[in-house]
Amino acid sequence: MEENKAQALLKKYLAGNCTEEEKAMLESWYLERDLEIYPDMNAEERLADKQQILASLEQAIAPKKRNILWPKMAGIAAVAFVTISFGLYTYLIKNSPVQQSPVMAKADVPPGGNKAVLTLANGQTINLSSNKKGIVIKTGTLAYNDGTKINTTTTDQRQTSAKNIISTPVGGNYQVVLPDGTQVWLNSASSLSYPTNFNARDRKVEITGEAYFEVAKMMIKDKANQGKERRMPFVVESKDQIVEVLGTHFNINSYMDENATKTTLLEGSVRVSASGARHSNLQQHNVVLKPNQQAILTGSNQITVQQVDAESEISWKNGYFKFNEDIKSIMNKIARWYDVDVVYKPGVDLSQTFSGEVSNSRNVSVLLKVMELTGNVHFKVEGRRIIVMP
For residue 326, how far is the Cα from the chain centroid?
Answer: 14
Q: Encode pLDDT of 50-82 as tens digits.
A: 555 455 444 443 333 333 223 333 333 444 444
Q: Encode pLDDT of 198-228 as tens digits.
A: 776 778 999 999 999 999 988 777 666 666 7
Tell me, what's the pLDDT at 334? 94
**What's the CATH fold of domain 38-99+319-390?**
Phage tail protein beta-alpha-beta fold (3.55.50)
Q: Encode pLDDT of 322-367 as tens digits.
A: 888 889 999 999 999 999 999 999 999 988 888 777 788 888 988 8
Say what percent of the chain tops pLDDT 90: 41
Residue 373's pLDDT band (boundaries 50, 70, 90)?
Answer: confident
Say what percent of the chain tops pLDDT 70: 66
Residue 235's pLDDT band (boundaries 50, 70, 90)?
Answer: very high
Q: Look up the pTM and report it.
A: 0.72
Cα 378 from Cα 390, distance rounded (Å): 6
Cβ-contact 239, 252 below 8 angstroms = no
**What architecture is domain 113-312?**
Sandwich (2.60)
Cα 168 from Cα 166, distance rounded (Å): 7
Domain map of the chain by residue range? 38-99+319-390, 113-312
Indicate the SS3 state at residue 240.
coil
Residues contacting residue 319 through CB under 8 Å, at least 6 positions apart: 359, 360, 361
